[in-house]
Structure 1
Amino acid sequence: MNIFLKIEETLQKQLPFVAYRKPNTSVLKGRFQKNNNLITLKNYSESGFIFAPFDSSEKAIIISEEQSDFYQEEITLNNIFIDDTTYPADSSSEENHTQLVEKGVQAINNKLFKKVVLSRKEKIEVSDFNLIQTFQKLLCNYPTAFVYVWYHPKVGLWLGATPETLVSIQNNQFTTMSLAGTQVYKGTTNVTWQTKEIEEQLFVTDYISERLSSVSSKITTSEIETIKAGKLLHLRTILSGKLKTNTAALIKTLHPTPAVCGLPLEASKQFILENENYHRGFYTGFLGELNINTNESNLFVNLRCMQIVDHIVYIYVGGGITQDSNAIKEWQETVAKTTTMKKVL
C-alpha cells in the first residue's frame, strides 16, 4: 500500500504511526502500530521509533518494532506548490520574547551561565489543514532535513523538518554534530558570520567534545562549515568517535545539547523551565530509529516542528542567547525560523 494512503487510513482508525524520510534520500519509511497502546521507553534497549521530550525527566514514547508494521517506498515529489500566504507574528509574542531574551542576557551577565536557548510557541488558526499535503510540502521543500509526521491518539499529532542530527550509531561507532548560529539564506553559503555566532558554535562544539570524552574514545572533530537548511544557514561541526559504553549512556550524555538548552547544562535548563512560561513537550527533544537491525540508531533533534490540535497549529521556535545577544534581533531570528513551517500550511 502507498504510505500516504496508509497514513490516512491509520489516522482515521486513530492508531499510532510515524512516517519519515532521512536527509538527502528519496526513501519514505513508515511504522504503523497495530494497537493504540502508549508504549514508553524503559532503558534504550528496545527497537523501533522513539519520540522523546526535551525534559529527560519525562517519558519517551516508542512505536515498537514488535507491535507495528513497517513500510518503505521510493518517492518522487516534484514542484509541490508552496502557498505565499503570510501569517504575521503576534505582537504580544514579540514583547514577551524580547523581555525573556533580556532576562537571559542579564542572567549571563550575572554569571549564572554562558549561554541559554530560549524559545516560544506560536499559535496559528488554520481552517482547512490537510495533513498529507502539508507533509508532502515538507518532504519536497526540505530535502536535506529529517522530515516526519508522528501521531499517537493519546499524545497528539506532530510534523517537522529538522536539520540537526543528535547521533548516528552503528555497532560501536557514532557520529554527532554541533549546530549553532543562524542567518537567512540569500543565494549563497559563502557568508560572513558575526563573532556572536562563531563563539556560540565553539561553545557547543567544545561542550559536546568534553561530554563525549567520558563515553567514547578517538574523538575526531571536523572544520566548521556553513550549511543550508531550507531558507536558513547554520554553522555545523561534525564529531565522531568510538563508543566505550552503551547506547543509553551516549544518548543521555548528548541530550539535551547546548544547541537546544545552554551552557552549563543544568543551570541553563533550570532557567528555561522557570522562565519560558510554556511547556516545550517534544520540541527540542529527539526522535528517530532506535536499535534498528539490532545495532543501528539514527536520532535527530526535534527542531522546525509543529503540533496540530484540531484546527490550530502550534509552531515552536527558539534561538541561542549569549552575552552579545540583541533582543530585537533574536526576535527577528525566531520569525525567520517560523517561515519553514508557515510556508507549508
Structure 2
Amino acid sequence: MSIFSTIKEALEKQLPFVAYKKPDSPHLKGWFQQNDKLITSENFNESGFIFAPFDSNEDAILIPEEQSAYFEEQVSTYNIDLESKIQASETSSKENHIQLVEKGIAAIKNNQFKKVVLSRKEEIKQTNFDIIETFQKLLNNYPTAFVYVWFHPKVGMWLGATPETLVSIQQKSFTTMALAGTQVYDESIDVTWQPKEIEEQQFVTDYITDRLSEICTTISTSKTETIKAGNLLHLRTIINGKLKADNTSLIKTLHPTPAVCGLPLEASKKFILHNENYHRSFYTGFLGELNLNLKESNLFVNLRCMEVRNESVCIYVGGGITKDSDSLKEWQETVAKTSTMKKVL
C-alpha cells in the first residue's frame, strides 16, 4: 500500500498522520496513528513525530512512535504542472503589513530590540481542495526543502516546504543553522547581498552561538553561503557542536530562533504577540522526527506553510525587520514568498 493511499484511508477514518520528505532525500516517509487521541509532549523526551507551535506556552502535538504505523517508499516525480495565474493580495493586507513593519522599525530605533520578525496570514478561498495533488506539487517544486502534510482531526491540517533546519541531533552531537536574508532567485546564486541582509544574518549567527555556549562543550561555524529554496535565495551558516547534557535543553534553547522571532528574544516576542493581530499557531513553530533510532532527532522550522480549512487555505509568511528595513520592500518580500505556494494552489 502506497503512502498516498494510506493518507486517503486515514482521512476517511479521521485518524492523525504525517507524511514527509527530508531535504534532498529519495525517500517519502509516513507515520499513521492508530487512534484519534490528542497526545502532547511534556518535555521532548518522547519518541515519534513532533509538531510544536511558535508560542512555547502552547502544547506541542506528538504522533507517538509506539501508537503509529510507519511507511517508507521511494519518491517519484509527479506529472503535475503549476498554473501560472497567481491570486493578488488584498490592498488592505498590504496597508496593514506596511504599517506593522513601520511600527517595528520605530521600536528598533527606540532601542526596544535589534531585530523583529513580522508576519501576516493570507486567506485564499479554496473549494474541492485536493490534498494528495497539493502535496505532490510541493514535493515536485521543493526538492531541497523539508516537505510535509500533517493532519489531526482535533487540530487541523497543515502542509509546507521549509528551507530551515531547527536542529539535527545524534546522541550528544548536533547541527543547526542560522538562516536569514531573502531575495528572488534569478537564474544564479552568485548574487550580491545588501548590508541589511548581511547584518541580519550575523545577528542570527551570533545569537545562536552565544545561547548554545552555555549548554555545549564545543561549537563551530561554517562560512556563510547562499542557498536556493523554491524561487528564493537565503543566507545560511551551519553550526555544529556537542552537548553537555540531553537534547531537551538544546531544543528549548533554540526555539524560537531569531530567524522567526527577533533579538533580544523576549522583547521581540512580546512585540509580535501584541502587534501582529493574528494567531501564528504552528507557523514558525517546528516539526520533525523526535528521538528515533537511538535518540536521533531531525527538526525543522515551520516556514512556507499553509493551513487547510473547510472552504479556504491560509498561507503564512513573514520577514526579518532591522533598523535599515524598507516597509514597502518588506511587503514585496512577503509577496515573493507566497508566490510559489499560490501556484501550488
Q: Which interval holds the TM-score relative to the shorter structure?
A: over 0.9
Match of 2:275 in 1: 275
- In the TM superposition, residue 12 of structure 1 has moved relative to its aligned partner by 1.0
Partner of 1:333: 333
1:25 aligns with 25
Distance 1:98 1:262 in 2: 18
Partner residue in 2 for 1:106: 106
Work out whether residues 166 and 301 of structure 1, in 8 Å CA contact, stay in contact via their aligned partners in 2.
yes
In the alignment, the residues of structure 1 paired with residue 154 and residue 293 of structure 2 have an alpha-carbon distance, to the nearest angstrom, of: 28
- C-alpha separation in 2, matches of 1:18 and 1:341: 19
Other-structure match for 2:310: 310
* In 1, Cα distance between equivalents of 2:194 and 2:146: 27
- Residue 62 of structure 2 aligns with an amino acid whose one-letter code is I
Counterpart of 1:260 in structure 2 is 260
Displaced runs of 4 or more, over 4 A: none
Greater mean deviation of Cα atoms: 79-88 or 66-75: 79-88
Cα distance, 1:201 vs structure 2 = 0.1
The reply on whether 1:192 has 2:165 as its aligned counterpart is no
Instruction: Give the SS at the match of 2:144.
Output: coil
Q: CA offset at residue 78 of structure 1?
A: 4.4
- Counterparts of 2:11 and 2:78, CA distance in 1: 25
Q: Which residue of 1 aligns with 2:250?
A: 250
Counterpart of 1:343? 343
Q: CA deviation at 1:337?
A: 0.2
Check the 8 A contact 2:78/2:136 in 1, yes or no. no
Q: What pairs up with 1:58-137 in 2 under 5 angstroms?
A: 58-137=58-137
- The residue number in structure 2 matching 1:222 is 222
Residue in 2 that maps onto 1:167: 167
Pairwise CA distance, 1:339: 1.2
Q: Which runs of 5+ in 1 are unaligned?
A: none
The alignment partner of 2:55 has SS state of coil
In structure 2, distance between residues paired with 1:174 and 1:15:
33
Aligned to 1:203: 203
Quote the residue 2:291 is aligned against.
Answer: 291
CA distance in 1 between counterparts of 2:271 and 2:43 reads 28
The Cα offsets for residues 50-98 of structure 1, whole Å up to 9 and x where unpaired, read as: 0000000001000000111000001211442111121101110000000
Q: Which runs of 5+ in 2 are unaligned?
A: none
Conserved in 2, the CA contact under 8 Å of 1:304 and 1:340? no
Q: Provide the rounded CA distance (Å) in 2 between the counterparts of 1:55 and 1:76.
A: 36
Partners of 1:312 and 1:230 lie apart in 2 by 23
Q: Partners of 2:333 and 2:128 in 1: how far apart? A: 28
On the 8 A contact 1:47/1:294 being kept in 2, the answer is no
Q: Distance in 1 between matches of 2:58 and 2:294?
A: 25
* Residue 294 of structure 1: how far off its partner (Å): 2.5
**CA distance in 2: counterparts of 1:182 and 1:146, whole angstroms:** 18
Q: 1:300, CA displacement in angstroms?
A: 0.1
Corresponding position of 1:140: 140
For the Cα contact (< 8 Å) 2:113–2:263, is it kept in 1? yes
Cα distance in structure 2, aligned partners of 1:72 and 1:187: 34
- SS in structure 2 at match of 1:343: helix
How far, CA to CA, are the matches of 2:31 and 2:60 in structure 1? 17
In 2, Cα distance between equivalents of 1:19 and 1:327: 37
Q: Distance in 1 between matches of 2:127 and 2:56?
A: 34
- Equivalent pairs: percent with the same residue? 69
Structure 1 position 340, deviation (Å) = 2.5
Asked if the contact 1:105–1:322 (Cα under 8 Å) also holds between the matched residues in 2, the reply is yes
Deviations 1:181-229 (A, max 9, x none): 0000000000000000000000000000000001112201000000000
User: What residue in structure 2 maps to residue 231 of structure 1?
Assistant: 231
Contact (CA 8 Å) 1:7, 1:17: kept in 2 or not? yes
Q: For 2:148 and 2:40, locate their aligned partners in 1 and report how far apart those are by CA, in whole Å.
A: 20
Letter in 1 for 2:249: A
Amino acid at match of 2:309: V
One-letter code of the match for 1:17?
A: F
Task: Output the aligned Cα RMSD.
Answer: 0.7
Q: CA-to-partner distance for each residue in 1:291-344, whole Å, 9 max, x for gaps?
A: 011210000000000000012000000000000001000000000000131111
Q: Which residue of 1 aligns with 2:48?
A: 48
CA contact (8 A) 1:175 1:239 kept: yes
- TM-score calculated relative to the size of structure 1: 0.99
Structure 1 residue 153 corresponds to structure 2 residue 114: no
- Tell me how many residue pairs correspond in the alignment: 345
Where 2:66 maps in the other structure, the secondary structure is: coil
Note the C-alpha offset of 1:128: 2.6
